[in-house]
Each structure stands twice: as structure tokens, then as C-alpha cells.
């Protein structure tokens, strides 16, 4: 840590009223400057849950509010560490942790994960670029804490920062990021699944040499968090309608890109050309937000290309591709028959059918991705969570999720307001589903 970054400049405390954490407290001038930077303010214009807003109409919250929430949880945790665990936590690490918490999502783009897939972007890599690029306001502000301070913050995002306690506060299986988005997403979607005992978690979290642990007495609160995460993935993040909107967006952007590369895209929306030809700069990326993409989709609705305009109208008017769930091991043949019927009805397969696989491991104790959740006994001995909790053990034993085949809605509709030939194909489609025991 640089000397200046160890001693952040204090200012009159500022509070942000927050529906999840009540008040978010900021009393450091540099943190306030980061919040006011144009790169961070851009997060106001990017929805946290992407296409889930089309299923849960209250899910209008932004990456901006989530990032403030992660900052606040990190502040609460590190304040507690400094007060009760000064022998195991270096309080000089707090400022780099707070900056990394605040900036951890600054590289997200519009409809982040779908956009990343089509245009081969990486929000974590772009987050590091924003922090390290001398042309950004964020970089300039961070440099006030020391010439090497931007690199320190970026290394937390990259998970290469030398102190594992700081890294695990921001990125682990039970970190400030996940704790905030579970509570925040539950609040704004109107569900109760993501709620867990945060106050208890904050009382039992503690640092140790290799990272972050939780007092064994708080095991059930930690267990509750893992179960809540599982339920949010099953009920919210993997909702079939949200995935249908995501698949429809994926297909329309793919069609637009294919047309552009073939020199046949008749409408070129602002700001997207550098991504169609894969020659974008950080400046180009920072010009993107949800409004840019929604505007582009609205323009695509007027395209002379019927495939692009149809897909764009489906997304714009919330008429996404619909789905059936299937067993990927035993029902591949029947799925291909279903796709053939869609093609026979005149829909190009590559744009109007797609298999979507969504799965999540609620907790991974195998050390493959991230450090396991550790419980600490009164004698300071350590216990890995799944060995102490049968519930967590069950949830961690296999991936949870499903595979769905997405097709035009009329194949799963009961409406008679479709052409007769499509009605005939639809009956064959539904018969195949019944005979193949597809859900």
C-alpha cells in the first residue's frame, strides 16, 4: 500500500438512502470522487438483472445501486475487522478493499452476459482496463492515493492481490458482492427467496491468515445464505421467460452481426459498428448502455430484413421465443425432430431455435474455482462448510438447472390465430413432445 492510500482524506459524511441497507455511508473524499466519475455514473444506465426485468417488472435496479451496496457491506465488514480482529487484519488494507468493492462491476455493458457472448467482451477485463487506463477519470482519481494504487485495485479484481483476505471480501463463494445482489435482487423482484440473516453474517464473519472465515456458531446463518442462493438461481435467475428474452436478444444480435459482416445490414445504429467488426476501443465500450442497445433494437424493428425485424419486434414487444425443458442425455433425437418441424414451417433454425443450458453449483467445496467457505471453531481450528452442514452437502453435490429448447411461440400456443399449415405442424410438434415425455 502507498502511504497516501493508507490514509484516505476524510470529508463531511455523505449518506445515500438505500432500500436494502437503509443508509450507505461515505466519509472519504476520494470515494465520493469515484462515485461522481463519468465511468461510475454510467452504471446508473445499466440494469442489474438484464432480461429478468421482463419477467419481474420491479427489477429496474441498476449496477450503480448494487455497486454502492457492495461498497457498504465491505465497509461494515472491514470496520468490524479493525475493531475486533486487529491482530489478524491490517486496517491499512481497508481503502483498497473499499475501492475494489465500489468499482468491481464498472466494466459491465448493456444486457451484460448476452452482449459479452455475441461480441466477445469480458466485463472483468474491461473493469481492469478502466482502472488502469490513464485516460479515464477513475484512473486519475485513484492516482491521488499513490502512483501504484490503480494497479493495486485492479489486482483485487484480477484476484492477484497478495492479501487473500481482500480478494475474498470482493470475490469468493460468500463475499460482499454476492450478499448484496442476493438481497437486492430479491427485494426488487418481489420474492423472498434471496433473503438471509445478513446481520448475523456480519457478526460471525472474521479474517484469518488464508482469507475469510465464519465463526462455527453462525453456521446456520451461512447455511441459510447458500440455500437462498440456490433458490434465487432456480426461481429468478434461471426463469424460463427471462431466458427466452435472453435467447431472443442473442439471436437478433447474431443476425444483425451476420448481416453487417455480409455487407447487408440496412440499418446501422449509433455506437455498435466497432463491435460488429470487432475493432472497438475502451472509449467505444464506455459509450454503451441499456438505452443504446434498446434504441438499436427499436431501429432494427424497421429493417427490411424480415428475420432481423421479426426478432427485434419479438424482443421490443416482449414476445420472446418459448421453450420446453428436455433431458439432454436421452431426448436429443426428439429435440432434433422438433427443430425440423420449426424449419419446415419456414423459420431458419439458426435464428429461431436455440438450446439454452443454465446450471449452477450452489456451493463448490472442491477448490476448483474459488476457496471454500470456512467455519472457525472456538479453538481456531477450521472446518469446511459442507462437512458440517448436510443441507449444503446435498446442494454442492451436483449442478442444478436444466436444458430448454426455445422455438417460436406459436408452436406452444393454443391460439387458433395462426396459419393452417403452421397449426398442422404445431400439432405434430406437441405430439412429439407428448410422446417423447418432454416437459
Is residue 138 within 8 Å of 34, Cβ to Cβ? yes
Query: By C-alpha distance, which of 249, 216, 281, 186 is closest to 54?
Result: 249
Residue 330 in this model has a pLDDT that exceeds 50? yes
CB within 8 Å of 427: residues ≥ 6 apart:
none
Question: Domain 323-439 classified CATH 3.40.50.800?
Answer: no
Q: State the average pLDDT for the chain.
A: 91
Residue 218 in this model has a pLDDT that exceeds 70? yes
Name the least confident of 3-7, 69-73, 149-153, 211-215: 3-7
- Tell me how crowded residue 228 is: count the other CB atoms within 10 A of its CB: 21
Query: By C-alpha distance, which of 408, 406, 412, 414 is closest to 429?
Result: 412
Pairwise CA distance, residues 178 & 121, whole Å: 22
Q: Residue 322's pLDDT is what? A: 93
Query: By C-alpha distance, which of 256, 125, 237, 262 is closest to 186?
Result: 237
The stretch 365-371 carries a mean pLDDT of 65
Residue 11 in this model has a pLDDT that exceeds 80? no
Q: Residue 401's pLDDT is what? A: 85
Which cell numbers hold the place of 49? Answer: 438483472
Pairwise CA distance, residues 133 & 129, whole Å: 6
Please tell me the chain's helix, strand, coil percentages from 3-state DSSP, rounded to the nearest 5. 55, 10, 30
Is residue 121 within 8 Å of 115, Cβ to Cβ? yes
Pairwise CA distance, residues 157 & 166, whole Å: 10
Pairwise CA distance, residues 376 & 365, whole Å: 16
The stretch 381-397 carries a mean pLDDT of 92
Query: By C-alpha distance, which of 8, 285, 38 is closest to 137?
Result: 38
Domain spans in the chain, listed from the N-terminal domain onward:
3-212, 239-320, 323-439
Q: What is the CA angle 199-202-206, rounded to 5?
A: 160
Residue 145 in this model has a pLDDT that exceeds 70? yes
Is 58 strand, coil or helix? coil
Q: Residue 2's pLDDT is what? A: 39
Residue 4 in this model has a pLDDT that exceeds 50? no
The stretch 170-197 carries a mean pLDDT of 96
Is residue 363 within 8 Å of 385, Cβ to Cβ? yes
Which cell numbers hold the place of 157? Answer: 479484481
**pLDDT band of 324, cuts 50, 70, 90:** confident
Name the least confident of 185-199, 296-310, 397-411: 397-411
Q: Residue 417's pLDDT is what? A: 63
- Tell me how crowded residue 431 is: count the other CB atoms within 10 A of its CB: 11
Residue 432 in this model has a pLDDT that exceeds 80? no
The stretch 75-99 carries a mean pLDDT of 97
* Residue entry with cell 491468515: 209
Is residue 98 within 8 Å of 71, Cβ to Cβ? yes
| CATH fold of the domain at 239-320 | Growth Hormone; Chain: A; (1.20.1250)
Enumerate the β-bridge partners of residue 206.
213
Q: What is the CA angle 327-329-333, rounded to 5?
A: 85
Which cell numbers hold the place of 271? Answer: 455506437
Q: Residue 336's pLDDT is what? A: 87
- Tell me how crowded residue 141 is: count the other CB atoms within 10 A of its CB: 23
Residue 420 in this model has a pLDDT that exceeds 90? no
Residue 421 in this model has a pLDDT that exceeds 80? no
Q: Residue 396's pLDDT is what? A: 86
Helices 94-103 and 63-84: crossing angle in degrees, nearest 10, is 160
Helix/strand/coil (H/E/C) assignment for every residue in 211-225: EEEEEHHHHHHHHHH
pTM, entire model: 0.93
| CATH fold of the domain at 3-212 | Hypothetical protein af1432 (1.10.3210)
Amino acid at each position: 500500500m502507498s502511504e497516501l492510500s493508507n490514509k484516505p482524506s476524510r470529508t463531511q459524511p455523505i449518506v445515500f438512502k438505500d432500500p436494502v441497507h437503509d443508509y450507505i455511508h461515505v466519509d472519504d473524499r476520494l470515494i465520493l470522487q469515484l462515485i461522481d466519475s463519468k465511468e461510475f455514473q454510467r452504471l446508473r444506465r445499466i440494469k442489474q438483472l438484464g432480461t429478468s426485468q421482463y419477467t419481474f417488472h420491479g427489477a429496474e435496479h441498476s449496477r450503480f445501486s448494487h455497486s454502492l451496496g457492495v461498497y457498504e457491506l465491505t465497509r461494515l465488514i472491514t470496520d468490524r475487522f479493525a475493531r475486533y480482529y486487529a491482530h489478524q487484519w491490517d486496517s491499512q488494507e481497508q481503502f483498497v478493499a473499499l475501492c475494489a468493492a465500489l468499482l468491481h462491476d464498472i466494466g459491465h455493458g448493456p444486457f451484460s452476459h448476452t452482449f459479452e457472448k455475441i461480441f466477445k467482451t469480458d466485463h472483468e477485463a474491461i473493469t481492469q482496463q478502466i482502472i488502469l487506463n490513464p485516460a479515464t477519470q477513475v484512473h486519475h482519481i485513484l492516482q491521488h492515493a499513490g502512483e501504484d494504487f490503480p494497479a493495486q485495485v485492479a489486482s483485487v479484481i484480477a484476484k492477484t492481490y497478495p492479501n487473500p483476505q481482500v480478494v475474498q471480501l470482493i470475490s469468493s463463494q460468500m463475499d460482499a458482492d454476492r450478499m448484496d445482489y442476493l438481497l437486492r435482487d430479491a427485494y426488487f423482484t418481489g420474492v423472498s427467496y434471496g433473503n438471509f440473516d445478513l446481520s448475523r453474517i456480519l457478526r460471525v464473519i472474521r479474517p484469518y491468515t488464508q482469507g475469510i472465515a465464519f465463526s462455527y456458531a453462525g453456521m446456520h446463518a451461512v447455511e441459510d445464505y447458500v440455500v437462498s442462493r440456490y433458490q434465487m438461481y432456480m426461481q429468478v435467475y434461471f426463469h424460463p421467460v427471462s431466458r427466452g428474452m435472453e435467447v431472443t436478444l442473442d439471436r437478433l444480435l447474431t443476425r444483425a452481426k451476420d448481416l453487417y459482416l455480409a455487407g447487408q445490414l440496412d440499418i446501422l445504429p449509433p455506437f455498435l459498428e466497432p463491435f460488429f467488426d470487432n475493432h472497438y476501443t475502451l472509449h467505444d465500450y464506455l459509450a454503451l448502455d441499456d438505452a443504446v442497445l434498446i434504441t438499436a433494437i427499436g431501429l432494427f424493428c424497421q429493417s427490411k430484413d424480415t428475420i432481423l425485424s421479426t426478432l427485434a419486434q419479438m424482443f421490443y414487444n416482449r414476445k420472446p421465443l418459448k421453450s420446453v425443458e428436455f433431458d439432454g442425455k436421452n431426448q436429443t433425437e426428439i429435440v432434433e425432430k422438433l427443430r425440423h418441424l420449426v424449419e419446415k414451417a419456414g423459420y431458419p433454425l439458426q435464428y429461431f431455435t436455440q438450446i439454452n443450458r443454465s446450471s449452477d453449483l450452489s456451493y463448490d467445496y472442491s477448490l476448483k474455482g474459488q476457496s471454500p467457505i470456512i467455519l472457525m471453531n472456538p479453538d481456531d481450528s477450521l472446518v469446511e462448510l459442507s462437512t458440517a452442514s448436510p443441507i449444503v452437502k446435498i446442494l454442492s453435490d451436483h449442478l442444478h438447472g436444466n436444458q430448454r429448447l426455445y422455438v417460436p411461440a406459436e408452436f406452444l400456443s393454443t391460439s387458433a390465430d395462426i396459419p393452417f399449415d403452421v397449426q398442422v405442424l404445431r400439432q405434430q410438434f406437441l405430439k412429439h413432445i407428448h410422446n417423447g415425455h418432454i416437459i
